[in-house]
Amino acid sequence: MTRIPQARDTTRTSAPCVGVFDSGVGGLTVLAALHRRLPHARLLYAADSAYAPYGERDAAYVLQRCRLLTRFLLRQGAQLVVVACNTATAMAMPELRSEWPQLPFVGIEPAIKPALALRAAGDGPVGVLATPGTLGSDRFRTLLARHAGDAAVLLQPCPGLAEAVETRGPHDPATLALLERFCAPLREARCTRVVLGCTHYPLLLDGIRAAFGDAVPTLLDPADAVAAQASRLAGELPQTHGTPTLCVWSNGEPARLQRIAAALGLPVGAVLALPTLEAAPAPLGAPAGSHGPAMSHHDA
């Protein structure tokens, strides 16, 4: 737990408690935007790295993890929950809202609408980098049908990319080679705007720019829009008082999370072990029979 330094004040400040979860370190990009907009808040972050990637799992698996993480954050005092994962938002949000009808949720989805709204004459196609789970979801198909019209949109699934960021890091040569392979079709199609449809992908900005060379497109990341929506909803919560803090839990590698958090300007101190939540399916790639450590209703 890190106490966020504040100006000396003799009065206690309002400190809404906002819970955030993701399949791993990608949601730190959203947490950083939240920290900028809500410096007075208690921010709780749960990284479910041991069960990543969500984007290559079925909906039942993702929903189970989302329920467990929501319950965990509520036990820590969360008054609002931000689902900082595109796949989790796409696959689980209706069920989460149904199970907790009084709890405000904020989800994240690919920034298709602003990408298409910015189109101008002579622009190339809009590209979308996202997980197979996000691109294959009913929620994404509905989003695309609502906003695409006759616009050229090139969808690029990126299997294994979020997992590479989790296990190897965003600057590892193998991660960057995988990224280059997925960016190549968008580069060849001369996309002028590219939507980053996974919260892990903003951690790869340098690699994405390198992959596009001299023709770097406008890159759209919805993290700040999500933070703005969460900030608005936080202002409607029952007033509580306390000291602003930033608490982070993970069932993955703490050192990598801390390095990424530091690069994003997040004052993360010790990373707490995400406790076992309850029985869950084995992590992806685990031997049969093994179980790894499991240690609103408004969208932006």
Q: Regarding beta strands 193-196 and 126-130, do their DSSP bridges make them parallel or antiparallel, or are they unpaired?
A: parallel
Q: CA distances (Å), 31 to each of 17, 61, 83, 188, 248, in order?
A: 13, 24, 11, 33, 10
Q: Which residues lie closer than 8 Å to 145 by C-beta, 6 or more apart?
A: none
Do both 51 and 7 map to the same domain?
Answer: yes
Model pTM greater than 0.85?
yes
Q: Which two tokens stand for residue 137?
A: 């979801």
The CATH number of residue 124's host domain is: 3.40.50.1860
The string of pLDDT tens digits covering residues 4-25 is 444 444 344 568 999 999 999 9
Task: Say if CB 98 and CB 67 are below 8 A apart.
Answer: no
Same domain as 201, residue 126: yes
Q: Do 97 and 234 belong together in one domain?
A: yes
pLDDT digits over 242-271, tens only? 788 999 999 999 999 999 999 999 999 899
Tokens of 52: 């990543």
Which of these is catalytic: 85, 183, 191, 247? 85
Residues 102 and 6 in one domain: yes
With respect to residue 240, please indicate whether it lies within any of the assigned structural domains: yes
The answer on 238 and 202 residing in a single domain is no
- Res. 120: pLDDT tops 90: no
Q: Look at strands 218-220 and 2-3 and give their pairing.
A: unpaired
End position of a domain, from candidates 201, 221, 241: 221
Phi, psi of 282 (to 5 degrees): -65, 145
Residue 218, φ and ψ in degrees, nearest 5: -70, 130
Catalytic, out of 66, 183, 198, 247 = 198
Same domain, 185 and 122: yes
pLDDT value at 228 more than 90: yes
Amino acid at 296: S
User: For residue 268, what are the domain limits?
Assistant: 2-108+224-273
In a domain, 281, yes or no: no
How confident is the model over 24-82, as pLDDT tens digits? 999 999 999 999 999 999 999 999 999 999 998 999 999 999 999 999 999 999 999 99
Chain centre to alpha carbon of residue 220: 14
Question: For residue range 138-170, what is the model confidence (pLDDT) as tens digits?
Answer: 999 999 999 998 899 999 999 999 999 999 999
Q: Is residue 63 part of a domain?
A: yes
Residue-wise pLDDT for 21-39, tens only, equals 999 999 999 999 999 999 9
- Asked if residue 298 is part of any domain, the answer here is no
Q: Which residue has the tokens 């006759």?
A: 150
**Measured between alpha carbons, how far is 166 from 204 in angstroms, rounded to an integer?**
12
Q: How many folded domains does the chain comprise?
A: 2
94 falls within a domain: yes
Whether 183 is catalytic is no
Asked about 158 being catalytic, the answer comes back as: no
Q: What percent of the chain has pLDDT above 90?
A: 79
**What confidence score (pLDDT) does residue 189 get?**
97
